[in-house]
Structure 1
Amino acid sequence: MTSTSTGHRVAVVGAGTMGIGAAHAFALAGMDVLLLDKSTQALDTALRQINTNVRLYGLIDPRLSAGAEVLDRVRVGTDLAEARDSDWLIENVTENHDVKREVLGLLDGVCRPGVPIGANTSAIPIGVLASYTEHPERVIGVHLMNPVPLKNVVEVIPSVHTSAATLTLMRECLGRAGKTTVTVNDSPGFVTNRIAMLMVNEAVHLLAEGVADPASIDRLMRGCLGHQMGPLETADLIGLDTVLYSLEVLSAHRDEDKFAPARLLREYVASGRLGRKSGEGFYSYTS
């Protein structure tokens, strides 16, 4: 597998929460970013959110404050064919097999030979996603963490199809973006979500049983175990629908009762309580 990749032009496909964070992080690292989505409204929202996040993250770490420079490096588009000049790609579309099959297939047909395609998913095995393309050797899992500009470690997951060249290129590209990579073998949920989703699910069980309220659960996990965020805060940030879907994927692939989603989690999602993005989850964000 050969490539002319320089690593300086990256296409981010999907302008949701993770796509916004990825575009922000890569632009902050000095890369030229193409943010793609089928919705022009989503793209407009993404640019506004990046501008807001630059200010917010700058309060946490002054090194993350470079608003005009970041936005100048991000251009947007609605046609996946625009990704043809990119040196590497990160796919962040919704966790739906039909959507991912369509997008990955199109990207595979558009990109130059040897260009690595990073699939960002919460739990779907990378080998499954790679099978949606004609060149599965160029597909690799890239599990970014939210918020991406603040999280410097990235879980990288090659499938049985992924070539050694793809792994090397993707690690180099993420390194240029200031990310430290940890490579793990392909498995549903990988390492981080296989553990994290269990913790979130158990926290929901504790809440449903009346053992403690959300603030107490999260405070104990932060204060006693040193977590930066508690499990219910984390779930609200990720999106309760994404948490539910991840648990369902883990349950289906692992066939283990421990991954069965808590009933309260299903009820929240069914009622539209999805976390930060809907204004209410385990906490209220309407104010």
Structure 2
Amino acid sequence: MNDVEREALTNFLIDIEILDGIYEYISEFNVFEILGVVNTEIKHSNTLALLFNPNENHNLGDLFIKKFIQSIFSIYKGHLKHMHKNIFDILHLDYYDFVIKREYMNIDIFVISEKAQFVIVIENKVWGKASENQFEKYFKLITEEYSDYDKLFILLTPYSDTEVESSNWISLDYNLIYEIIEKILRLKERNLDVKVRLFIEQYLAILRRYILMKDIELERICREIYYKHQKALDLIFEYKPDIYYDISNYLQNLINSKDNLIKDSCNKNFVRLITKELDDLMDKKEKTGQTAKEYFYSSFN
């Protein structure tokens, strides 16, 4: 390390004031991060199913499912002409009659009201892709099983511009989910149990930071740190831990410790070696001009 690099790293490490801003984020306990919910569709679906259920003990009542359905009818009213229900009917539904099911017919979230004869199918794709003909398969299954019901088929993704391969489905992004939850939190904050409020706030933080990528304050702090300490951070990135380098280094040390092995050319992508027995048996020069130990080797990628 030269003097310039040492000075850059030192200045970065002692800049406590600018680092304090990001420490608040990385030291913050978040149960969703601990449980690995961030990029796991199943766990996002479990969380949403909990919020959808008006009879759960979160004390949100029917607010989430009501605002979700009403938002869809408001946003997509031009695409829902096949529905028997209009916005007036939707406003007067008994949302406590809705039952929420997970993995019913392999569907991520299945919502049904027998009284209202209304079914909602939600396929949740956080980062994954639908399998071939998955949308048409679910549409056919539900249409046959609930032929007299009003039906909504929804693809939920992080992206607002996601196209659905089937015209029977509508595409929603997590922005709507975030906005609904945030609005409910403002409305019910004073009446919510502390644990429930913390649960909701932490889920919003996960959506904001990892799914919607719109944690503006965190982005601002990171940019400020990088612009101020670019040289130090570039140096850190250059020498960041590399699993391939670590494995290669381990294998090279292992070969060096064995008397019957000879190490040949190596880098982080491969390790070449030959046994001493083979080296002694082979002529040192082959017709190709290669040495025996260059010709006989094992490669670890």
TM-score, normalization by structure 2 = 0.29
Which of structures 1 and 2 has the bigger CA Rg? 2
TM-score, normalization by structure 1 = 0.30
